[in-house]
Structure 1
Amino acid sequence: MHRSPGSILPTRGPSPRPFLPVNALLVSVLLTLGSGCGDSEPDKTNNCPNPSVGCGQQDSGTPDAGAPDAGNPDAGIPDAGIPDAGDPDAGSPDAGHPDACNPDAGSPDGGGPLPTAPTLIESSQSAHQVSAGQTVTFHVTGRDDLACPLQFTWDASSGTLGSPVTSAATSDVTWTAPPCVLWSSEVTITLTVTNNARLSTSKSFTVSAPRCPGPVVSGGVSHSLAIRGNGTLWSWGDNSFGQLGDGTNATRHAPVQVPGLTDATAVAGGHAHSLASRADGTVWAWGLNGGALGDGTTSIQYAPVQVSGLTGAISVAAGSSFSLALGADGTVWAWGLNGNGELGDGTTTDRLTPVRVSGLSNITALAAGTGHSLALGADGTVWAWGLNFHGELGDGTTVGRPLPVQVPGLTGVIAVAAGMYHSMALRNDGTVWAWGWNLKGELGDGTTTQRESPAQVPGVTGAIAVAAGGYHSLALLRDNTLRAWGSNDDRQLGDGTNTDRHTAVQVSGLTGVTSVFAGGGHSLVLRNDQAVWAFGSNIFGQLGDGSTPSGHGPVQVSLP
C-alpha cells in the first residue's frame, strides 16, 4: 500500500486520538500568525488575502499561492529538480530562440548552433545552347540546416523568365531565349536562394544563344551611337538634324539616352540620320529625312519613328541618305534616295518606304557607304550595288549597278565594311581585302591608287573584325590589338600623330578591344569590360567624353 506523506496508519483496538502531523501543524501555526487576520482556515474562503503574498492581493483559491512547494528546498523555482527548468525548450537546439525560422523572434542563448547559409544539393538545366525563342527549364533543390523554408529569386541577363514554381526547398523556372544577344553569345541566368536568417547562396547557369549580327556601336559622319547591355540606346555628337533622337537639335558632347527606345539589337549612323532595330523585329529611324527614315514622309524627325511595314529585322545599315535592314529570313530591305541604284531594286527611284533588294537571300550582314551597299552571303560571298564611280563595288568596273552583283574573287568572307567610297572584306583566314577609292591610303596597300577589284591589305594577318570610316580603315586582330591606316587628319588612326598612313600602323594605348567601328573622321572601339573608347575628330563632341577639342587620342566615352 502506498503511503502518502503525513497519512495516518490504521491500528487495531480502540481508535486513537486524531493528531496532525508535525509538519502540517507547524505550517498551520505559521500561516495563522503571519496572516494578520483572525482566519484560522485561510485557504477555505476568500475572506482573507493569501498570507503568502500579503494583504494587497486576493487569494486565487490555491493553497499557499506564491510558494508552490513550501516543503521543497527549491521552493520558488518551478521544477527545480528538472535541468534547465525555466527554459521552456531546454531540450531544443534553438533554446532561447522561440522560432528558429523567424529571424526576428529573439536571439539564441548560445545553447544552439548559429544559422548558416543554405546549400544547393541539386541543380539542372534542360539545354546549354539554344536558338531564338527556344525555352530552357532550370531546376534547383536547396537545403537549410534548420529545415526552414527557402526563398528563391531568379534573374537573367537577357531573354524572358517565366513565373517560378517553388516549394519550401525546390524551385523550377522556364527561360525563353531572345531573338539574339548583345555583346556576347552567352546569357547568364542567376539563382539566389535565401533562408529566414537572411543568409543566401547564389548559382549561375550559362546558355549559348545567337549573337546579334548588327553593330552595337556605330559612328555617323559626326555623331555616334551605342547600345548598352540592357537594350537602351545612347547618342552623342552633332545633332543639327535631330540625328541623336533626343527630341532636340542641340549638340551633345556626352551621351544622352534616346527616349522611348528599349530592347535595341542593332544601331547604325548615316550622314545625318540614325537607325535602330529592336528585339521585336521593328526598325526605328530619326534625323534628316529625304526618305531615309522610311516613314512615308520627307520630314525631319527629332525623335524615333517606326519604319513602315518592316517586321522581323535583325540588323540595320545607314548610308548617306538611304537605309538598309536585314531580315531574320536573310532578305534585305532598302529605302531612301536611290539616284545611284543604292536601294538595289533595279531602279533609280527614291523610296519613302522599304522595298526588297532584288535577288538576295541567305544574307547575314550588311554595310552601306555614301552611295553603295554591300551584303555578305551565308556562303561567304560578297554582293554589291549602287554607286561605283571609284570602283567601290569591286566588280572590276566603274559602272553603277542598280541590282546586286557578286564581287569576284572573294570567298570565305566573314565580315564586310563600307567607307564613303571604299569597301572592305575580312576572310576566314584572317586576311583583309579592300577596294575602291584610295585618296588617303584607305586601302592600306602602300599607294594612293584606286582599285576596282579587291586587293589584300599587306601586313595585316590574324584579323577578326574590320571597320571603314570616311577615308580611313581599321582591323582588329586576334590578340585584341588594333591596326589602322588611311586619313589621319583628325588623329583617327590613334597612333599619336596626324600623319596619313598608307599601310597599317598599330593603334596605341588600347588593350582588350573586342569590336571596332568607324565614323566620318573618328573611330570607336568596344572593350571586353563593355567600355567604349573613341579617338579622332571631336569638333561636334562625337568622342563623347564631355570635351570639344579636335584631334584626341583614345578617350573613354562617358556612358552610364
Structure 2
Amino acid sequence: MLRKVVGASAGEAHTLALTGDGSVFSWGRGTFGRLGTGKDSDELSPVRVSFAEGRGEPKFVEVAAGAYHSLALQDDGSVWSWGYNIYGQLGHNVEKSAAPTLIEEFKELGAPNSLSREPNAIHETTTLKVSSIKAGGMMSLAIDNLGALWMWGYCPQPSSTEKEEEFSLISSSSPLPVWDFHGHTVVKVACGNEHVVACVSPGENFHSGDLLCYSWGNNSHGQLGLGDRKPRARPQVISTFEEDSPWAIYEIACGAFHTAILTNKKSYDQAIESRCWTFGLGENGQLGHGTVTSASRPEPVSGLPHETFLISLDCGLFHTSVVSACGDVWSWGMEKGFGLFPGAIDSGGDALTPIRVRCGETPDGLFPVPVQVACGAAHTVLVADDGRKLWAWGRGRSGVLGRGQIADSFVPAPLTWPQSEANSDKEVERRNFESKASSHPSGGMSVETAVHLSDQSRLPPEKLRRLMEQYAAVLHFSVFRKPLDERSLPQSLHDSGVFDVRQELENMLAAADGGELARLQVFYEGMLSAVKEKIMKRRIKDAVEEYILAHSPGRKP
C-alpha cells in the first residue's frame, strides 16, 4: 500500500511531502541541496529524506518549501532546514546545506514570554518550541507554541532614520521576533518574495472566527491589500477583514507579488458560503479578476461558484489554485493557470479567470477526497484520495512532477510513489496528527461556525434542512478532514430534518482519536462564540462539556 500523505509544500522547482508516519519525502531540482539528500542532483520521483540523529529517526508534523530551501518541523517543536542559505534562511552561518540540520538557535532563545526589549530583562530558560513553519522566497517563518511569530532570512524589517521608521529588507540567520504581535496569538502566516501576511487574534487568546489580517513588507504591486502601493515597515491591519467585516478568514497564501485569502460568511442564515479574495500583481491573470490589472485592495474572485466550500489554497509565482471539499480544482494565472513561462505551451495565453482542472480518472472530473493543493513556480501538486494519491501537472523538468521523467504535463498525472510496508503504523500517524493539532493555536483548519441556532425557528422547514445539512458537512470536514458522504448524513437529519447536536457530538467523540478531538474542540469554541442567546449558549456548553468529561482520560467513575 502507499504511504498516506498528510501535507505537501512546493518550492521553485521542488516539492516536499509529509506522510502519516512522520516521514519527509522530496523530489525535483536538487541544486543547492534543497532536496536534503546530501547531494545536488535531481530526483525524478519522491525519495525519503534522512535526518541524522543519535537517538533514531525523528518524526515530523509539518514541511515548508521556499524558493531554494526547505524546512521540517519535528514533533518535539524543533526545526530542521536544508538548501540555499545566502540570506540566512536556514538559520545557520553556511552558504548552503545539502543535508537537514537542526536549527540550534531556537533552543537558546527561551520562552517567548521571557523576551523583552529591555537590555537588563531577566530571561527564563524554558526552551522555545515551534508549532508551525512557513517558507517564502528567501525567508523562513515560525509560530511558536505560545503564538509568537519569528522570522529569519531575507526579511522585511523596520529601519530607523532621523525622521521616521522606514521599510527595509535585512538578512539574518538568527530568528527575530515580530514585536508588534506581543500579547496576541499569531494563528497563520504566509509570505511572498518580500512581503508577509499574518492572521492574528485581536486579544491575547485565539477564538475561532475573530482573526485580524495584517500585512507588511514591499508593496510595489499592492500585495499588502492596504489600498495603496506604499511599503510598510510594520504590520498593518487589512481593513477589508476588520472585526466588523461579515467575512471570517480561515486560509492565506502568497505568490511572489500577490496574495490570496479564503473566507467564509460569519452568518449562515441562508447558506454556508466561502469566498476567495486576491490582490497584488495581476499582469498574468493570477488574481482571477478577468483582467491583467493589479489590485491594491482585496477583491473576490467572481469565477468560482458560491455554493461550494473551498478547503485549500496556494499561490505559485504567477498562478493561483484552490480546491473545494467536493473535489473540484480551479487554477488561474500565467499560461492557462499552469504558471509556465510564456511560450512553454500553445495555450492561447494566460488564464484571467478560474479554469477547472479535471481529474481524468473519474466520470465527473472530481478528485476523490481532496486534502491539499501546493503550487510551485511552474507546477502544481494535489494531495487527494484522503492522502493515498498525489497528482501533479505543469513543467516537468528536473523531475518536479515526481513521475520518473522530465516531460511536461498539461493534465493532472499521478506521481510515482515509493511503496511502504504492508501495514503502516496507525498509532504513530495518530500521534503525529494529535501533536500537530494540539500544538498549533488553530488546531488545524479554521472553519468559522457562526450558526445562529436561536434564529432557526424562523426559517422555512426545507431551508432549515438544507442549512443543517451544510452545517453537518462543515462540522464533519473540520473534525475528520474529509467531506461528508450523503450516505453518512446524521440519522437525525434523515428522520426529522433536525441536526441533533447532542447525539452527533456523542457519536463523534466516541469515534474520534486525539487529533480529531482537538479539531472538534476548536470547532465547538467557534460555534459557542457565535450563539448570542444566553440560555442556548449555556445548554450547548453544558451538553458538550458533559461528553468531553465522559471521554476524558483518567476520569474518575
Shorter-normalised TM range: 0.5 to 0.7
CA–CA separation in structure 2 for the residues paired with 1:502 and 1:519: 19
Q: Of the candidates 252, 258, 262, which is equivalent to residue 416 of structure 1?
A: 252
Residue ranges of structure 2 left out of the alignment (5+ in a row): 52-56, 107-127, 160-164, 202-209, 242-246, 266-273, 360-365, 419-557
Q: Of the candidates 198, 206, 219, which is equivalent to residue 375 of structure 1?
A: 198
Q: Which residue of 1 aligns with 2:144?
A: 327
Check conservation: 2:156, 2:216, Cα contact below 8 A: no
Where do 1:480-491 residues align within 5 Å? 480-488=327-335, 491=338
CA–CA separation in structure 1 for the residues paired with 2:95 and 2:335: 35
Q: Which residue of 2 aligns with 1:439?
A: 283
What count of residue pairs does the alignment treat as equivalent? 346
Q: Which residue of 2 aligns with 1:228?
A: 19
Instruction: Using the TM superposition, give the Cα deviation of residue 347 of structure 1 relative to its aligned residue in structure 2, in angstroms.
Output: 5.9
Instruction: Using the TM superposition, give the Cα deviation of residue 496 of structure 1 relative to its aligned residue in structure 2, in angstroms.
Output: 11
Q: Which residue of 2 aligns with 1:451?
A: 295
Amino acid corresponding to residue 64 of structure 2 in structure 1: A
Check conservation: 2:330, 2:356, Cα contact below 8 A: yes
DSSP 3-state at the match of 1:359: helix
Check conservation: 2:399, 2:405, Cα contact below 8 A: yes
Larger helix percent: 2
Instruction: Using the TM superposition, give the Cα deviation of residue 338 of structure 1 relative to its aligned residue in structure 2, in angstroms.
Output: 3.1
Instruction: Using the TM superposition, give the Cα deviation of residue 298 of structure 1 relative to its aligned residue in structure 2, in angstroms.
Output: 3.6
CA–CA separation in structure 2 for the residues paired with 1:507 and 1:389: 31
CA–CA separation in structure 1 for the residues paired with 2:346 and 2:170: 45
Q: Of the candidates 353, 356, 360, which is equivalent to residue 177 of structure 2?
A: 356
DSSP 3-state at the match of 2:32: coil
Amino acid corresponding to residue 502 of structure 1 in structure 2: L
CA–CA separation in structure 2 for the residues paired with 1:551 and 1:492: 12
Cα pair distance change 1:555/1:316, threshold 3 Å: same
Cα pair distance change 1:415/1:529, threshold 3 Å: closer
CA–CA separation in structure 2 for the residues paired with 1:347 and 1:488: 33
Residues 495-533 of structure 1 deviation map (CA, whole Å, 9 limit, x = unaligned): 995742111111111512221111111111111341221
Q: Which residue of 2 aligns with 1:251?
A: 42
Amino acid corresponding to residue 376 of structure 2 in structure 1: G
- Residue 283 (str. 1) matches residue 79 (str. 2): yes
Cα pair distance change 1:522/1:393, threshold 3 Å: same
Instruction: Using the TM superposition, give the Cα deviation of residue 546 of structure 1 relative to its aligned residue in structure 2, in angstroms.
Output: 0.5
Instruction: Using the TM superposition, give the Cα deviation of residue 328 of structure 1 relative to its aligned residue in structure 2, in angstroms.
Output: 1.8
Which stretch has the larger CA shift, 241-250 or 329-338?
A: 329-338
Amino acid corresponding to residue 407 of structure 1 in structure 2: I
TM-score under structure 2 length normalisation: 0.59
Instruction: Using the TM superposition, give the Cα deviation of residue 477 of structure 1 relative to its aligned residue in structure 2, in angstroms.
Output: 1.6
Instruction: Using the TM superposition, give the Cα deviation of residue 296 of structure 1 relative to its aligned residue in structure 2, in angstroms.
Output: 3.5
CA–CA separation in structure 2 for the residues paired with 1:491 and 1:467: 13
Amino acid corresponding to residue 233 of structure 2 in structure 1: P
Residue ranges of structure 1 left out of the alignment (5+ in a row): 1-180, 184-215
Rg (Cα) greater in structure: 1
- Residue 271 (str. 1) matches residue 94 (str. 2): no
Q: Which residue of 1 aligns with 2:219?
A: 388
CA–CA separation in structure 2 for the residues paired with 1:496 and 1:229: 39
CA–CA separation in structure 1 for the residues paired with 2:278 and 2:228: 15
Check conservation: 1:345, 1:356, Cα contact below 8 A: no
Q: Of the candidates 388, 403, 406, which is equivalent to residue 237 of structure 2?
A: 406
DSSP 3-state at the match of 1:431: strand
CA–CA separation in structure 2 for the residues paired with 1:539 and 1:290: 24
CA–CA separation in structure 2 for the residues paired with 1:498 and 1:549: 20
Q: Which residue of 1 aligns with 2:405?
A: 547
Q: Which residue of 1 aligns with 2:367?
A: 511
Instruction: Using the TM superposition, give the Cα deviation of residue 309 of structure 1 relative to its aligned residue in structure 2, in angstroms.
Output: 2.7
Q: Which residue of 1 aligns with 2:381?
A: 524
Check conservation: 1:489, 1:500, Cα contact below 8 A: yes
Instruction: Using the TM superposition, give the Cα deviation of residue 414 of structure 1 relative to its aligned residue in structure 2, in angstroms.
Output: 0.5
CA–CA separation in structure 2 for the residues paired with 1:506 and 1:490: 10
Cα pair distance change 1:488/1:381, threshold 3 Å: same
Cα pair distance change 1:357/1:442, threshold 3 Å: same
Cα pair distance change 1:537/1:262, threshold 3 Å: farther
Amino acid corresponding to residue 465 of structure 1 in structure 2: S
Check conservation: 1:235, 1:256, Cα contact below 8 A: yes
Amino acid corresponding to residue 319 of structure 1 in structure 2: G
Residues 127-176 of structure 1 deviation map (CA, whole Å, 9 limit, x = unaligned): xxxxxxxxxxxxxxxxxxxxxxxxxxxxxxxxxxxxxxxxxxxxxxxxxx
Greater relative contact order structure (CA < 8 Å, 6+ sep): 2
Amino acid corresponding to residue 41 of structure 2 in structure 1: A
Alpha-carbon RMSD: 2.5
DSSP 3-state at the match of 1:488: helix
CA–CA separation in structure 2 for the residues paired with 1:488 and 1:319: 22
